[in-house]
Amino acid sequence: MTHQATRHALVIAVFLGSSGMAVAEEKAAPAEAAMNDAEEQMIALDALNRMGSYLRSLESFKVQAVTSTDEVLSNGQKIQFDKSVEIQAKKPAGLRADVTSPYGERSFYYDGKAFTLHTPANKFYATIPVSGTNGELIEAVQSKTGANLPLADLFYWGADEGAGDDIESAIVVGYGSVNGVKCEHYAFRQKEVDWQICIQQGETPLPLKLVITSKLEEEQPQFVSVMKWDTAASPDPKAFTFTPGEGDTKIAFNPVGEKSAAAPKGDEK
């Protein structure tokens, strides 16, 4: 996982939701494939880099995710919150994300000129001028508004060649199937998180399932995301530009560090 991806990994949980998609039981790698720790780590890191390279090669895509996120209460009890997200993206600068949860909906728009966050239920939207690639957008929006885009890792994986230095260990878990798609299962350890990823087998090494376990809290809350891809999708450029509807009210993003008025209480779980 890249340095950027590591920073964003737990942030993703704020936006995503219920892991309701079917995930088949996995099996361990065959005994004849046994290898020493160094070889196993190299294989796992190579698989991660190959996945990152493939993601960066995509000119456009659509991905749907269902996720679950643990939140630890003050008494130590873990509560699980569910969300779903759909992302449409096109190089170099076109991004649309629609997030749905029982607490509300949010839509994010980027057309290479402006970034807009819209909350349909209360008809608020906030816009700032932004330029650059989709990857540059994520950093710019976070620094200017404090907002974090869903599935930010997809635009960072593999971008930093030195990111492997953050990984303390990596293992090959085995083989599995996510939504009927065969995958390879890997697990990684870093200082603050343990995480697992299932990568599609073959010539399209897409991330199909991501599990992140925080080690910063005794209860070790988890974030789980299960993804379904359409790499043949070619989104209409109009999908990336926000057009206010009847009754929509424009507001301003609050200064970084304050809760945005475009983020009603309860919509952040």
C-alpha to C-alpha distance for 5 and 75, rounded to whole angstroms: 30
pLDDT recorded at residue 148: 83
pLDDT, tens digit (0-9, with 9 covering 90-100), for 92-142: 999 999 999 988 999 999 999 999 999 999 999 999 999 999 999 998 998
pLDDT band at 19 (very low <50, low <70, confident <90, very high): very low
CATH number of 3-251: 2.50.20.10
Choose among 69, 39, 54: nearest CA to 269. Answer: 69
pLDDT, tens digit (0-9, with 9 covering 90-100), for 191-236: 999 999 999 999 999 999 999 999 999 999 999 999 999 999 999 9
Residue 86 has pLDDT above 60, yes or no: yes
Distances (CA, A) of 3 to 19, 140, 181, 228: 26, 16, 28, 25
Q: How many CB atoms lie within 10 A of CB 6?
A: 21
226 or 145, higher pLDDT: 226
The phi, psi pair for 53, rounded to 5°, reads -65, -40
C-alpha to C-alpha distance for 173 and 41, rounded to whole angstroms: 11
Q: What angle do CA 199, 178, 235 make, to 5 degrees?
A: 75
pLDDT recorded at residue 9: 39
pLDDT band at 56 (very low <50, low <70, confident <90, very high): very high
pLDDT recorded at residue 186: 98
Domain assignments of the chain as residue spans, ordered by start: 3-251
Give alpha helix (H) positions in the chain. 3-12, 37-57, 134-145
C-alpha to C-alpha distance for 192 and 189, rounded to whole angstroms: 8
Residue 3 has pLDDT above 50, yes or no: no
Residue 33: partners with Cβ closer than 8 Å, 6 or more residues away: 172
The continuous run of DSSP H or E covering 36 comes out as none
- For residue 162, the 8-state DSSP code is T
Q: For the chain, how many helices (H) and strands (E)?
A: 3, 13
Q: What type of residue is 151?
A: L
Residue 8 has pLDDT above 50, yes or no: no
